[in-house]
Structure 1
Amino acid sequence: MAIFFIIVWTIWKERNLRTFGNSSTSIKDLKDLVLLRLGWWISGWADDFPYSLSDISRNPDCLLWNGCGKTGVSHPMSQIPISWCPPDINCIKWNVDTSVNPLESSSAIGGVLRNHRGNFLCLFSSPIPFMEINCAEILDIHRAIKITLSSNIYKNSKIILESDSSNAMLWSNSEVGGPWNLSFHLNFIRNARLKNLNINIVHKGRNANFVADSLAKQGLHRQSEFIAWL
């Protein structure tokens, strides 16, 4: 029943986007968005549901789970890996990702902050100027750090930040290098890493970044930044 309402809600919001925003979302992105929203809803009422948001996206058959550790189809739970790994109990974790659409010359960033239980603490999704994807990932890391520094609750926490761009990770962790036109952002990141935050910036594949990836894709259709503290 939840799936029905989420699909109807998603179609209604897409209708408004096309009617009033002069924009549209691809069928694939709409499907991903339905699965993402369903995962969020499930996390609110089914604490014993054994699958993550990325599991639902990669294998929607897991939604046939019957409460006994099996999906009801020929996909045992052990064959569906849990891609997102929670941080240690004394840490919080940012996952950030970037989406670039060269056909429309648009780029966007997105990120999600979670604790060791997997609870969402903060979400952001924002359009940015069109640029190369590794450069966009620098803006993504910069935005997550800036949001963290604005929070009196989390800025003193031990933080892990995962990006699927190895180049952006290397530039952020080095003292020099990186795109010259992003030197301001890189210097901000480096200064925060060395002086202001207890943060570890690491590379992680996109399969562990499903929520951030979906938020970045949503950002392609936004006119301004969306940010929510949860």
Structure 2
Amino acid sequence: MPKPMGRVTHRPWSPPSISDIKWNVDASLDPIRNRSAIGGVLRNFMGIFRCVFSSPIPMMEINSAEVYAIFRAIKISMACEEIKTQSIIIESDSANAVAWSNAGCGGPWNLNFLLNFIRNTAKSHRNIHISHKGRSSNMVADALAKQGLRRENEFLAWM
């Protein structure tokens, strides 16, 4: 039986393999208050939260903010000796941010620093995989990004 038109299919979060950990990242924008924010959640194969962040960032276009969220997840991961050697999956609901991060070059000129860091880290560690997933698999990261719009400073917690 065909699905009704206009109905959104819910695709829940899917766990990584037993040897991987997975970040879901997201960005949020409030054009009325001229604010942007990012958020992310790191989970293991059992879905147990390992780390969360929620942070205000400088005002920027939404795809740029999504790149910033990917960048932040990698920076947090590389600062932790325990996880930086694991295979890390980063999922974003921005197809543009994922494409720019995975490309060998290019993307918006004002994101060169972030994109070069993402690309060089992924290339040198070879254990970072950035992929696009639909919005509905990103509910926790979405909530964390929205919370960041009300924050003055970054919230970062390890579990």
Q: Could you state the TM-score of these two structures normalised by the residue count of structure 1?
A: 0.64
| Aligned residue in 2 for 1:127 | 56
| Aligned residue in 1 for 2:65 | 136
Q: What letter corresponds to residue 217 of structure 1 in structure 2?
A: K
- TM superposition outliers: structure 1 runs of 4+ over 3 Å: none
1:157 aligned onto 2:59: no
Shift of 1:182: 1.1
- Show structure 1 runs of 5+ residues with no match: 1-79
Q: How far apart in 2 are the matches of 1:224 and 1:158?
A: 29
Shift of 1:82: 5.7
| Aligned residue in 2 for 1:189 | 118
Q: How far apart in 2 are the matches of 1:198 and 1:134?
A: 24
Counterpart contact for 2:91–2:133, Cα < 8 Å = yes
Q: How far apart in 1 are the matches of 2:11 and 2:93?
A: 17
The C-alpha deviation readout for 1:122-158, integer Å capped at 9, x for no partner, is: 0000000111000001110000000000000000001
Matches within 5 A, 1:56-205: 83-205=12-134
Relative CO higher for 1 or 2, CA cutoff 8 Å, sep ≥ 6?
A: 2
Shift of 1:106: 0.5
Are the structure 2 counterparts of residues 127 and 209 from structure 1 closer, same or farther at C-alpha, using a change threshold of 3 Å?
A: same
Q: How far apart in 2 are the matches of 1:130 and 1:147?
A: 21
Q: How far apart in 1 are the matches of 2:52 and 2:103?
A: 27
Counterpart contact for 1:96–1:110, Cα < 8 Å = yes
SS at match of 2:15: coil
SS at match of 2:107: coil
Counterpart contact for 2:10–2:136, Cα < 8 Å = no
Q: How far apart in 2 are the matches of 1:183 and 1:81?
A: 34
Counterpart contact for 1:155–1:197, Cα < 8 Å = no
SS at match of 1:127: strand
Q: How far apart in 2 are the matches of 1:163 and 1:82?
A: 14
1:207 pairs, out of 131, 136, 150, with 136
How many residue pairs are counted as aligned between the two chains?
A: 151
SS at match of 1:86: coil
Aligned-pair RMSD on alpha carbons?
A: 1.2
Q: How far apart in 2 are the matches of 1:191 and 1:164?
A: 22
Q: How far apart in 2 are the matches of 1:138 and 1:172?
A: 7
Are the structure 2 counterparts of residues 229 and 197 from structure 1 closer, same or farther at C-alpha, using a change threshold of 3 Å?
A: farther
Q: What letter corresponds to residue 204 of structure 1 in structure 2?
A: K
Q: How far apart in 2 are the matches of 1:139 and 1:159?
A: 17
Identity in percent: 59
Q: How far apart in 1 are the matches of 2:118 and 2:78?
A: 11
- Show structure 2 runs of 5+ residues with no match: 1-8
Are the structure 2 counterparts of residues 213 and 126 from structure 1 closer, same or farther at C-alpha, using a change threshold of 3 Å?
A: same
* Bigger Rg over Cα: 1
